[in-house]
Amino acid sequence: MEMDGKTVLITGSTDGVGRYVAARLAGAGARVLIHGRDGVRAKALIEQIRRAGGAEPVFYQADLSSLAEVRRLAGAVVADHTRLDVFVSNAGIGSQNEGPSRQTSRDGHELRFAVNYLSGFLLAHLLLPLLRASAPSRIVNVASLGQHPIDFDDVMITRGYSGGRAYAQSKLAQIMFTIDLARELAGSGVTVNALHPATYMNTTMVRAGGVTPISTVEQGGEAILHLAAGVDVADKSGLFFNGMNEAQAHPQACDEDARRRLRALSLELTGMAAG
C-alpha cells in the first residue's frame, strides 16, 4: 500500500513500538492519528515528526481502560476524518505494568483483558463503517506469542491470578477476534491480521516486567509496518504472524465454539450486543 496521503490510526503510539511506527508512516506521507494517555509524550512525538519533515500527526488522548473513553475516541476519529485506511490496535499493558496484583478497569473488568483486548474489539467495531468506506483498508492487531487459553468459567481470573496469565489470555483473545472479524469482513476489501512483532523489545512494557530486552522496537516496528502496508499481504486476512512470517497461534484460536463464546461475551461486555 502506498502510504502517501493515507490516514492511519495507531493506538498506544506515544511510546515504544507504536511511536516508531507512527514516525515511519508520517515520514512516508501518511496522515497519522496518534493516541495515548500522556499529552507530554504526544507533543514530543509531534515535534520529532515535524523536525524530520513528516506530515504532522493528530493526537487523540484517551484512557482505554474506560469503554466510555473508547467510544469517545471512536466518535472523535469518525467526526474528524472522512476516511481511515489503516487501524493499528497496538495499545496495551504488560504483565507487570500498573503492578503485579489483579486490578480492574473503570468498567469493573480485569484490567489487561479490558485494555489489551476489549478496547480494541470495541474500537474496531465502531470504526468499521469508516474502514469499509475506505477499502481497500487494513486492521492490524498487535498481539503476542505469549498466549494462554481462556477459562470461560473465570474469564476475569478471580482465582489463581497472575499478570502473566492475564496478559497472555488477552493476547489470545485478540487473535481469536482477528480470525472472526476476518470472516465477517470477507469480500469487503478490509483485511485484518494479528502479529507478535518481536520478542522482548526495548520498551517500557518489557522493562517494567524486569526483563532484559533481546530485540529492538525497530525490529518489531518493521513487522507491524509489513502488515500495515506490505504488498505481499494485501489480500491476506485472518492470519497470525510471528514477525514477518505466518505462524500458528494457540489451538484455542482454531476452536470455533471458543471463538463464538468469546464473541458473545465481548459484545455483551462492550454493550454492542444491545446496539
> Rounded distance, CA 148 to CA 156, Å?
13
Cβ atoms of 63 and 98 within 8 Å: the answer is no
Query: If you compute the radius of gyration of the chain from its CA atoms, what whole number of angstroms results?
Result: 17
Q: What 3 state SS string does 93-110 have?
A: CCCCCCCCCCCECCCCCE
- Give φ, ψ of 21 to 5 degrees: -65, -40
Using a 10 angstrom Cβ sphere, with 0-12 exposed, 13-18 middle and 19 or more buried, the burial of residue 71 is: middle
Question: Helices (H), strands (E): how many in the chain?
Answer: 9, 8
Q: Which of 136, 113, 144, 116 is nearest to 241 (CA)?
A: 144
SS3 22: helix
CB burial of 111-129 (b: ≥16 within 10 Å; e: otherwise) equals bbbbbbbbbbbbbbbbbbe
Q: Which of 258, 242, 127 is nearest to 193 (CA)?
A: 242
- Under DSSP, the state recorded for 258 is H
SS3 13: coil
Residues catalogued as catalytic: 167
